[in-house]
Amino acid sequence: MKVGLIDDEIIVMEPGDRYKALAQYMRWDKRTKSLRARATLERLNGLAGIFTLPRALSALRERLQRKQAMIEKLRADENPRPLMDFPIKPGIKLFAHQIRAVNMCLTEFGQDEHKGFGLLFEMGLGKSLTAVTIMGCLHEMRRIKRVLVVAPTSVVAVWPKELHAFASFPWRAKALVGDKKHRLEALYELEEWQHSGIDVAVVNYETVHRNWMLDALLEYNPDLIIADESQRIKTNGAKQSKAMHKLGDRAKYKLILSGTPVQNNAVDLYSQYRFLNSAVFGTNFYSFKNRYCIMGGFQRHQIVGYQNEDELIKKVHSIALRVTKAEALDLPPQTFETRWVVFSPKERKIYDQLRRDGIAELENAAAITATTVLTKLLRLQQFTGGFLPDESGRAMPQNTAKLDALADILEDYVVEVGRKLVIFARFTAEIEAIEAMLRKKKIAFGAIHGDIPIAERGDIVKDFQENPDTLVFIAQLQCAGLGITLTAASMAVYYSLNFNYADYAQSLARIHRIGQKDNCHYINLVAENSVDMRVMEALEAKGDIAKKLVDDWRKYFE
């Protein structure tokens, strides 16, 4: 028997009578008539029980044992300290679980390439900040130059904002949105000229598998790939999953970000880990199923149970950190996230014209009051929510930017996980559109708005609080005041807002109040470069909004 190590792959020639024992750790290569396998610690430990490892394999095993021991020590550290100066902006604090994750990830990557790590954080625990920190550390260590982020459509525009908010290292980012021509042009712009920082391309999952995009991304050749909400590639045979596997096989480093890596059953893990590090579960999906799933039902095609579960969990956690809100004891009880939505060029043109019309009308007004300014801003807010009134006052659809973003959140948080969600919206047309989408998705919901009699509202709230099948509650902002308790949910989405800080503060308290057992997370849907941004700024200032509208009205139309 001849044993060798080539590019971190163990090769056994002429295995002889040890073939059967070795075959449980290695695969047979007909072409070379040898057993082959990636050199992992688990595999080397198994082989060491069959024969004496040669010097090179023994040294590698010892190095991997030391690294694994260090990772487990970092995992258990209750008061972690950064292993290096994190390149993030002053004043930004990483919580203990985030520091722990960065330390473990950097240790896992070590001096090796083609490694991956999983940030399996529940929603609201700061996956993006942690990923940006890891990105910056790898840049400081001169390990990466090009980054690819693959994310749900509604999150694509968020990533450049996150980099702007957190990164103190040099970077350029392009969100690959629009038609084929605009997406490719944005990607090529990153490649046209060199600079000292990181180039970051961000694309949605639905596009990455298209031949023209996949070819362009392979040519882009990212050093680090981040799969945000990686449960989107849980189906092994799906085109976008296969595309991610192909990209992942080329990249030096990979991250998966997910609060719900397992949504239906344990096989959800295989495709994500096939992308992350194929050495963990191999490259054969059917071998994975045979190892961990008990099949039954018609022609034994249905998963009826699991086996070797301890081994499965150990492998999953070997290159990942799982954190729940209950474990993140230093996390504040409320966290906030902005989901940026982007208009198409045609929609942007309409918005800009509405903005210019509003400015012109105010400039020609005899007197400017808070009411007149709010009236002009109202049309801009209606448009960002997807509607404009016609001459008769009937709301007419204009765009689905926010509705599409909300659909992503519903898919990830409600449909797949079964968690309850509260949605706040200002306008009746928005609420009707949301209700129509929920009916189409067959998601049970309750709603309170101006047309619902006060006498009926208590029963609607009670149903949401007590009925496990009612997963979504829609509340019109001005109707969601005192006396409404929605603690069955710990997450709320703001589809739209008004300038009334009291309404906003009261709505925050609907889920964050006595009886709430979980940390609360809020997502604001904000149309990029729009009045939505000005509304958020005004609410955060908590000042005399009416006075500011009169004195600084132009700012709200920028």
Three-state secondary structure of 174-221: EECCCCHHHHHHHHHHHHHCCCCCEEEEEEEHHHHCCHHHHHHHHHHC
What digits encode the pLDDT tens for the residues 358-368?
888 888 777 77
Lowest mean pLDDT among 6-15, 82-91, 182-191: 6-15
What is the predicted pLDDT for the residue at 257? 95
Sequence-ordered list of residues with C-beta below 8 angstroms from that of 379, at least 6 positions apart, any chain: 354, 358, 388
Rounded CA gap, 349 and 340, in Å? 18
Strand intervals (E) in 464-546: 472-476, 491-494, 520-527
Q: CA neighbours within 13 Å on the CB side: how many for 140?
A: 16
Read off the tokens for 208. 């990455």
What digits encode the pLDDT tens for the residues 126-135?
899 999 999 9
Alpha-carbon distances of 49 from 25, 118, 315, 392, rounded to whole Å: 12, 30, 20, 82
Q: What is the mean pLDDT of residues 97-106?
A: 96
Say if strands 27-29 and 34-38 run parallel, antiparallel, or are unpaired.
antiparallel
What digits encode the pLDDT tens for the residues 256-266?
999 878 766 78
pLDDT tier for residue 482 given thresholds of 50, 70 and 90: low
Query: 53: which DSSP letter?
Result: P
Nearest CA to 275 among 359, 181, 200, 208?
208
What is the predicted pLDDT for the residue at 545? 61
Of the two residues 92 and 6, the one the predictor is more confident about is: 92
Helix (H) or strand (E) holding 322: strand 320-323
Residues of the chain above pLDDT 90, percent: 51
Q: Is the pLDDT of residue 274 over 90?
A: yes
What digits encode the pLDDT tens for the residues 43-84?
899 888 888 899 989 999 999 999 999 999 999 998 999 999
pLDDT tier for residue 193 given thresholds of 50, 70 and 90: confident
What is the predicted pLDDT for the residue at 202? 96
What is the predicted pLDDT for the residue at 195? 82
Helix (H) or strand (E) holding 146: strand 146-151
385 and 495 Cβ atoms separated by less than 8 Å: yes
Helix (H) or strand (E) holding 60: helix 55-76
Q: Is the pLDDT of residue 255 over 70?
A: yes
Q: What is the mean pLDDT of residues 166-195?
A: 91
Lowest mean pLDDT among 34-38, 274-278, 302-306: 302-306
Of the two residues 160 and 538, the one the predictor is more confident about is: 160
Q: Is the pLDDT of residue 14 over 90?
A: no
275 and 227 Cβ atoms separated by less than 8 Å: yes
Across the strands, what pairs with 521?
Answer: 335, 491
Rounded CA gap, 434 and 445, in Å? 10
Rounded CA gap, 490 and 509, in Å? 11
What is the predicted pLDDT for the residue at 543? 58
What digits encode the pLDDT tens for the residues 430-448?
999 999 999 999 999 999 9
Across the strands, what pairs with 387?
Answer: 397
Phi, psi angle pair for 439, to nearest 5°: -65, -40
Q: Is the pLDDT of residue 481 over 80?
A: no
Of the two residues 261 and 381, the one the predictor is more confident about is: 381
Rounded CA gap, 556 and 242, in Å? 45
Coil/strand/helix, residue 454: helix
Say if strands 115-121 and 34-38 run parallel, antiparallel, or are unpaired.
unpaired
Query: 513: which DSSP letter?
Result: S
Sequence-ordered list of residues with C-beta below 8 angstroms from that of 4, at least 6 positions apart, any chain: 10, 11, 13, 54, 56
Q: Is the pLDDT of residue 401 over 90?
A: yes
Query: Which amino acid makes up residue 343?
Result: F
Q: Is the pLDDT of residue 454 over 90?
A: no
What is the predicted pLDDT for the residue at 123? 76
Query: 112: which DSSP letter?
Result: -
The structure tokens 């981040």 sit at 226
- Maximum alpha-carbon separation in the chain: 98
Q: What is the mean pLDDT of residues 146-172?
A: 92
Sequence-ordered list of residues with C-beta below 8 angstroms from that of 373, at least 6 positions apart, any chain: 362, 549, 550, 553, 556
Cβ atoms within 10 Å, residue 425: 27
What is the predicted pLDDT for the residue at 264? 65
Rounded CA gap, 104 and 188, in Å? 34
Q: Is the pLDDT of residue 370 over 80?
A: no
The structure tokens 């990686």 sit at 230
pLDDT tier for residue 227 given thresholds of 50, 70 and 90: very high
Mean pLDDT of the residues in the chain = 89
